[in-house]
Chains A and B, each alone.
Chain A
Amino acid sequence: AQKVTQAQTEISVVEKEDVTLDCVYETRDTTYYLFWYKQPPSGELVFLIRRNSFDEQNEISGRYSWNFQKSTSSFNFTITASQVVDSAVYFCALSEPMEYGNKLVFGAGTILRVKS
């Protein structure tokens, strides 16, 4: 079965520091998708990004960037110049086939605390 490991349980940084959240995955699928979700203190999960297994280009969106390395089965997330509003739980997830369709397999999440 698929597995997602987020080894960092909690990270604390001071505002304006850069921070990288690690994600390592295991899968036997040749085609798969990886996702990052953000869970702010309000509780809902917010979709951030999706990446397919054939596209190893890094992606940048404002202060957010993602580094996908198939050779090391990693999909790491970097926040540049962190802000207090970035404080949240961040989940990495991997698509897994089910009997009907696909589901998301989530890592345990990383709590990010950004202090002013």
Chain B
Amino acid sequence: NAGVTQTPKFRVLKTGQSMTLLCAQDMNHEYMYWYRQDPGMGLRLIHYSVGEGTTAKGEVPDGYNVSRLKKQNFLLGLESAAPSQTSVYFCASSYSGRKNTEAFFGQGTRLTVV
């Protein structure tokens, strides 16, 4: 039972390069999320999706794009990476968007932009 799987686990980018982070969940969850974790700031929501084909902005969406072409996958794209995007990125999923629903998280992707 894989749960939430993120690819890749580590990546180093040069400023201006682009990349896509892949998130896959096998729990048939409707909601999926991308968070970033920075020291002293906890996790902050970048974008989220309420179902296949739908996405919405979170708290810190600038510089990122997302797509959810299939229910089980949620992609996070960086078109032109900046050093400020150095962070640990977490994907999460939940079966609903109700406030009592816990989210299940992947293992994270550590991204360094030099």
Contact = CB atoms under 8 A, between A and B. Distances in A.
Interface of A: 4, 9, 31-33, 35, 37, 42-47, 50, 52, 91, 95, 97-104, 106-109
Interface of B: 31, 33, 40-45, 48, 50, 54, 56, 58-59, 88, 90, 92, 96-108
A31 B99 contact: yes
Contact of A102 (B40, B101, B106): B101
Given A43-B108, A45-B90, A102 B42 contact: no
A107 B42 contact: yes
Given A103-B45, A108-B42, A44 B97 contact: no
A63 B62 CA distance: 42
A106 B97 contact: no
Given A99-B56, A100-B50, A108-B42, A35 B102 contact: yes
Given A32-B99, A50-B102, A97-B99, A106 B108 contact: no
Contact of B42 (A52, A95, A109): A109
A47 B100 contact: no
Contact of B48 (A43, A98, A106): A98
Contacts of B90: 45
Q: Which of A9, A35, A104 has the most CB of B within 10 A?
A: A104
